[in-house]
Homo-oligomer: A and B are copies of this chain.
């Protein structure tokens, strides 16, 4: 066992729970971090806490950021969540969300002297968000090399994206292999207070297809 610390960005969804399970499996001491950005799907935050506790994170923190002050997304503003995938970048895109998440994760990593920051972005089965692409991650990695005290002192925080080239089905198979119970997670953009998924939004559709392709029973609770 190493005592190496890592910050894991944990949304409460399927991908980030898999990242946490895999990081714990590597022996990293994981501090999970969730962002309460005034999202519609508050059940996600409950799921993040449940996942952290159940999997054995050393610590779970929630940072509140009131993104409604700057609006701009169906997930934070008064715009309907669409039930059909459109073309281009969807209205559920939250402006600069991953930049913000990584910035907070970087600050947290620096504070607790974690050497790694893990995020579950995925460039295969994803919603077309600009800040899930490998080019974005590469640019943030370069930023992290100059942005912090630890970087100046010679040990920048490493940004890791273990899922970036996996399909949703591959992610699910990895999680199953690690014993992860996906019933703990919530992917739906408009889950009810009890964490039950709508089964119709883009995120539900991608998740459902992932289970089908993986040949794994989908135990997600739908409304």
Q: Mark A156-194, 1 if CB is under 8 A from B, else 0.
A: 000000000000000000000000000000000000000
- Cross-chain contact of A100 among B67, B69, B107 (Cβ < 8 A): B107
Whether, in the assembled complex, A66 has its beta carbon less than 8 Å from a beta carbon of chain B, the answer is yes
Contact assessment for A136 and B146 in the assembled complex, using a CB-CB cutoff below 8 Å: yes
Contacting residues, chain B, for A1 (C-beta < 8 A): none
Q: Which residues of B contact A152 (CB under 8 A)?
A: 89, 130
Copies in the complex: 2
* Distance of A106 from chain B, by nearest CB (Å): 4
> In the complex, how many angstroms separate the beta carbon of A77 from the nearest chain B beta carbon?
9
How far does the alpha carbon of A173 sit from the alpha carbon of B204 in the complex, in Å? Answer: 57
> Which of B98, B103, B130 is close to A99, meaning CB atoms less than 8 Å apart?
B103
Interface string of A51-71 (1 = CB under 8 A from B): 000000000011111110111
For the complex, is A126 an interface residue (Cβ under 8 Å from B)? Answer: no
Whether B140 pairs with A72 at a CB distance below 8 angstroms is no
The tally of residues in A whose CB lies under 8 Å from a CB in B reads: 45
Contact partners of A63 in chain B: CB under 8 A: 65-67, 69-70
Q: Within 8 Å CB of A130, what residues of B? A: 146-149, 151-152
Separation of A70 and B104 alpha carbons in the complex (Å): 8
A15 at the binding interface (Cβ < 8 Å): no
Contact A96 B107 (CB under 8 A): yes
Q: Does A44 have its Cβ within 8 Å of any Cβ on chain B?
A: no
Which residues, 60 to 104 on A, are CB-close (under 8 Å) to B? Answer: 61-67, 69-72, 89, 93-100, 102-104
A139 touches B136 (CB 8 A): no
Further contacts, 19 of them, CB under 8 A, given A131-B148, A136-B147: A62-B69, A64-B64, A70-B104, A70-B108, A95-B108, A95-B111, A95-B149, A96-B103, A96-B104, A96-B107, A97-B107, A99-B107, A100-B103, A102-B103, A130-B147, A130-B151, A133-B146, A140-B143, A142-B142
